[in-house]
Structure 1
Amino acid sequence: MTKLREPAVFQMDNISFYVDLDRQTLRQTDNPDNEISFIHQMQDMGDHYMLAWDAKTKNAAANSEDGEPLIIPQLSLLDPEGMSEKYRMSVSEMAGKSDFEIIVDQEALAARQNGILPQIDIAGEKFIFDLRLQELRHVEYFFPVISLKSLDLTDDGWHYEAFYEPIMKQVVQLDPKLTEFPDGIIKIKMPNEIGLDPVGTARIYGMSERELLRRHPIQKELKAEVIPLSETQVPRLIRQNREQLQREHEQITRKMKPGKRPRF
């Protein structure tokens, strides 16, 4: 059994904070609800962060001009072991790099900034994701095209999903009255726009590219999750439809049953 690693601790103004790499925050050890964000509440200076410290709230000052300026080391210095494990980079490889350069793949970022659109594997076929046109295009044939409008957002809003026919490479709608599993149909699930193309999302929606990338780095090998129909709501739908057909059959049978014949 793998032993859980203790989070790194940083002392600031005689107060202890856990270094939370997943959330990129400092969390007060004796009051975890008190959290300071490296992304939203500190100024990234490249090789360190600047924090406007409010000793009363033990957090960032509401007005940066009113706070005491404190220098906060990079995450790679606060927790080198954790950063190395999380971003699969040796401590020596991280040396001289900013947190942004460690968290965000710089080659992938340069390619995207030079106009190369992201790609995603859907059931073994590569598709280009074009956020501007709101579509996925086959890499080799540029057809068929999958429109984002044909996909459904999950309840949490972080993924798209749809029923999919791999041979035709098209999203399909299932017959709501089906009583058998449709041949060759699967369900696919993929990230939303932020997960597919954070750079394009930031540009189109006027968001801070750097901040968005810190929270949602570019994924180099995007792949849609393939979900067998047996693990969806389809079996329940088939069962309900079969039960309904059985009830209808029984009703028809009762109506057609002959009455008692008269005796002669």
Structure 2
Amino acid sequence: MKRELPTYHIQGTDFLVDVDKFELREKYDVHNIIPFALMKDSEAGYEFGYCPQSKNIDYEWLINLVEPNTFIPQLKDLDPLGMSIKYNLPLEEIKKMSDFQIMVDQDAFHKRVNQNKLPTLDIHGNKFYVNIKSDQLISQRFPFSEGISLTEIKSYYDQESSMYVIPFNTNTHQFMPLDLDKITEVPKDTIIVSFPFESELDRIGWNLQAGLNYMQNLKFKGLKCHHTACVIPWQNTVIPKIIIKNLEKQKLIAVISEAGKNKILKSKNNGLKR
């Protein structure tokens, strides 16, 4: 049976507290949503500028023209049962912890902030350090090699999946760009792998590089100290179709070239007959 969500009252309007989606949703207008990720995080809860007319976040507050006028308690106080279910923790533990302690992997946070350890990415058994500051994935085994430039793979970002999808050479352990206009066979020792964008690979490093608070959105987007790239079979990519298209183009060029040669030869022969 679906659980009835708790409500929170803001200036004459009731909002449902949805800890699964991290949002306040107007009880009698489910399309009116206030995401917690847009609120200002504080130790005791969340604050933001509220507009009674729109029953939503005040745009002027978003662009720093007005001060926050609304305070929201922590999610663990708004919906302790929902937080207990979501994070698989006993209710008694939930009550003793803060939202930050509940929602953020404390081991990953300690390693990244207190020990200054960079997150890692495993690509086909090869471990890389994610270094956003130097714009690189740095090989653990070959730290002085070129590694993988994050700028170089920007065009391989897939908007639909929000992932990088890149060719990776299993011998050189490096990004292997493909010439899609000329490729006529599956490259030897090359696989296709996918992994998250930098903001997910190293949320703290991304925040710092962007000039944001290093803790921004950690609670709502999660924090990991290690990621593993997924290998995508060639047949599940567009490459086989591109190869077929290029082979057909080669055949057509060959036919046209041969026809041209025959035409020239015929013209020469006709000239000799005269």
Bin for the TM-score computed over the shorter chain: 0.7 to 0.9
Quick check: 1:170 aligned with 2:174? yes
Give percent identity, aligned residues only.
Answer: 30
TM superposition score normalised by structure 1? 0.80
Q: Deviations over 1:14-65 (max 9, x none)?
A: 643222335422010222332234343355343x445666555434565447
Shift of 1:117: 0.8
State the match for 1:194 in structure 2: 199
Q: 2:22 aligns with which of 11, 19, 24?
A: 24
Partner SS state of residue 235, structure 2: helix
Shift of 1:107: 1.9
How many residue pairs are counted as aligned between the two chains?
254
Shift of 1:135: 1.1
Q: 1:58 aligns with which of 33, 55, 63?
A: 55
1:155–1:174 distance in 2 versus 1, CA, 3 Å: closer
State the match for 1:41 in structure 2: 39
Partner SS state of residue 208, structure 2: helix
Comparing both structures, which one devotes a greater share of its residues to helix?
Answer: 2
Q: 1:160 aligns with which of 148, 155, 164?
A: 164
Alpha-carbon distance in 1 for matches of 2:153, 2:84: 36
Q: Is the 8 A contact 2:14 2:27 kept in 1?
A: yes
Q: Deviations over 1:120-150 (max 9, x none)?
A: 1111221111111111122233254122122
Q: 1:248 aligns with which of 239, 250, 253?
A: 253
Root mean square deviation of aligned Cα: 3.1
State the match for 1:149 in structure 2: 151
Letter paired with 1:100: F
State the match for 2:76 in structure 1: 76
Shift of 1:212: 2.9
Q: Which runs of 5+ in 1 are unaligned?
A: none
Letter paired with 1:223: T
1:88–1:235 distance in 2 versus 1, CA, 3 Å: farther
Q: Which runs of 5+ in 2 are unaligned?
A: none
Shift of 1:6: 4.5
TM superposition score normalised by structure 2? 0.78
1:7–1:235 distance in 2 versus 1, CA, 3 Å: farther
State the match for 2:136 in structure 1: 135
